[in-house]
Amino acid sequence: MFKDKKVIVTGGGRGLGLAIVKAFLEQEAKVGIITRSEKTAKALVELQAQLLTRKESNNPHIMVADATKKEEIQAAIDGFVQEFNGLDILVYCAGVLRQGFILEETEQDWDKIFDLHLKGALFAMQCAVPVMKENNQGAIINLSSLAGQIPRLKLAAYGSAKAALEQLTRIAALEFAPYGITVNAIAPGPVETDLLQQYKRDNPGALKKLIHGDLDSFHIGIPTRRISTEEEVAHGTLFLASEKSRNITGQVLKVDGGQSTL
Ligand SMILES: NC(=O)c1ccc[n+]([C@@H]2O[C@H](COP(=O)([O-])OP(=O)(O)OC[C@H]3O[C@@H](n4cnc5c(N)ncnc54)[C@H](OP(=O)(O)O)[C@@H]3O)[C@@H](O)[C@H]2O)c1
């Protein structure tokens, strides 16, 4: 379904982003990975041989850029477009988790979270959409989080930034619909990645409560009684990027085991 489609995944070097990259490569898409650190980029090069690339010519294109710096993202996207002659799909998956109570929140930490989860998504769209417009088609998928919809303790900045990202997604869907470009978001519940490892370290015991429910914090828990896999989030992303979802735009697809049904 994605053979020779040109895809960029920001934050595609690890975790959910890498699972999404692998899923697109499986379908023979041409994939560009934007990662922030040289360390992840180097690890990716070493991993390339195992990256499910059945054909050597279909190795992912690795780019190092900070998603919060527009000139770096512009250069990365321009480079990819030049190399592959276009861009069909953008997945904005760069993210970090930072926790803290509201009264302890610093301006610097607040700004960092909003810069990455919200302003970075804006920059990526600003760089990608002019290219997509030329072909009158495209799909953009932004990685949100259930924390953007359900209030969680110590996630004021992260949850608020994700909520704003979902509204940016809906407004972008309106603005870009005339150009044949869909814009949707995926809101996963917890998924086992480095980001969740950090959450577990900072909140011992919280994941068990989150899965099984807890009157004080997580209410019903996760009805399916398990967290999602990276692959399940990737499948949702590929659906929103596919021809089958061409008339779905401005939506948020939750991949959460029914956690949000309460
Ligand atoms: N895991 C979960 O439970 C979960 C649940 C809901 C939503 N999400 C969302 O899903 C997305 C991916 O999360 P994850 O769990 O896969 O996280 P992760 O394993 O920690 O990976 C985060 C990725 O974002 C990249 N990144 C961070 N800052 C960046 C920057 N300034 N510029 C460019 N790239 C940057 C990282 O690049 P480097 O490797 O170079 O640092 C890494 O590739 C995030 O938006 C997160 O909020 C995750």
What pTM does this model have? 0.95
Which residues are bridge partners to 255 per DSSP? 188
Q: What is the mean pLDDT of the chain?
A: 93
DSSP letters along 69-109, please? -HHHHHHHHHHHHHHHT---EEEE-------B-GGG--HHH
Which of residues 123 and 217 earns the better pLDDT score? 123
Domains of the chain: 6-191+229-257 (3.40.50.720)
Say yes or no to pLDDT of 49 above 70: no
Distance 178 CA to ligand 1 centre (A): 31
Q: Could you tell me if the CB of 252 is within 6 A of ligand 1?
A: no
- When pLDDT is cut at 50, 70 and 90, the band that residue 55 belongs to is low
Rounded to whole angstroms, how far apart are CA atoms 179 and 51?
33
| Mean predicted confidence (pLDDT) in 195-205 | 87
Q: Give the pLDDT score at 42.
A: 85
Rounded to whole angstroms, how far apart are CA atoms 139 and 201?
36
Q: Could you tell me if the CB of 111 is within 6 A of ligand 1?
A: no
- CA count, 13 A, side-chain hemisphere, 44: 27
Query: Coil, strand or helix: which one is 138?
Result: strand
Provide the strand spans (E) within the chain: 6-10, 30-35, 61-64, 89-92, 138-143, 181-188, 252-255
* Main-chain phi, psi angles of 129, to 5 degrees: -60, -40
Indicate which residue's Cα is closest to atom 47 of ligand 1: 95
Q: Could you tell me if the CB of 13 is within 6 A of ligand 1?
A: yes
Residue 158 designated active-site:
yes
| Mean predicted confidence (pLDDT) in 221-235 | 95
Helix (H), strand (E) at residue 206: helix 206-212
Q: Which of 33, 44, 193, 226 to mutate to test the pocket of ligand 1 (most atoms within 8 A of CB)?
A: 193
| Mean predicted confidence (pLDDT) in 20-24 | 96
CA dihedral 171, 25, 80, 232 (to 10 degrees): 30
Say yes or no to pLDDT of 52 above 60: no
**pLDDT of 88-118, one tens digit each?**
999 999 999 999 999 999 999 999 999 999 9
Q: Give the pLDDT score at 197.
A: 87
Q: Could you tell me if the CB of 68 is within 6 A of ligand 1?
A: yes
Distance 35 CA to ligand 1 centre (A): 9
* Main-chain phi, psi angles of 219, to 5 degrees: 50, -110
